[in-house]
Amino acid sequence: MKQSLFEQMGGKYKQQGDYLLPYLTLPAEEEQPVGIWGQRHGRFLKEHHRILYYNLLTDGKLNSYLADVDRQAEELISQLVKQMAEREGVTESLKAQNSMVWIGQMNSIRNRAMEIVNNELIYN
């Protein structure tokens, strides 16, 4: 029996019922931890940008891409929180004087920073 081009290039088939299916594996990828921001971006890509998602997946680059997005998001959030807190005068002295006001203002700042990261990095 003549070999197919797939077999000539080293590919193998496996029997699945009455069909011969190509035996395909993904390239090995270094496993990196992906946090919440990377997971959210991964879900967004899978739902709204399927071609990019599957290209990254089949190239073996999805995990490293999502881990990088997660690192960028964390850095951006910490930078934004620090800048907003300085601009609005939320300091350690306020924390010592009135901790409840400080907590409320920091929560507001953190929520705004998370919204910016969502709009600019995660769901874009």
pLDDT of residue 34: 95
Beta-carbon contacts of residue 12 (< 8 Å; ≥ 6 apart): 22, 23
Q: Quote the CA–CA distance of 3 and 5 in Å, as a whole number.
A: 7
**Domain count of the chain?**
1
- pLDDT 10s digits, 14-62: 888 888 888 777 667 778 999 999 999 999 999 999 999 999 998 889 9
CA 94 remoteness from chain centre: 35
Would residue 114 count as lying in a domain?
A: yes
pLDDT tier for residue 5 given thresholds of 50, 70 and 90: confident
Would residue 19 count as lying in a domain?
A: no
Would residue 8 count as lying in a domain?
A: no
Would residue 99 count as lying in a domain?
A: yes
Instruction: Show the CA angle centred on residue 50, arms to residues 46 and 51, nearest 5°.
Output: 145
Output the pTM of the full model.
Answer: 0.76
State mean pLDDT over 96-123. 96
Would residue 106 count as lying in a domain?
A: yes
Would residue 94 count as lying in a domain?
A: yes
Parent domain of 110: 34-122
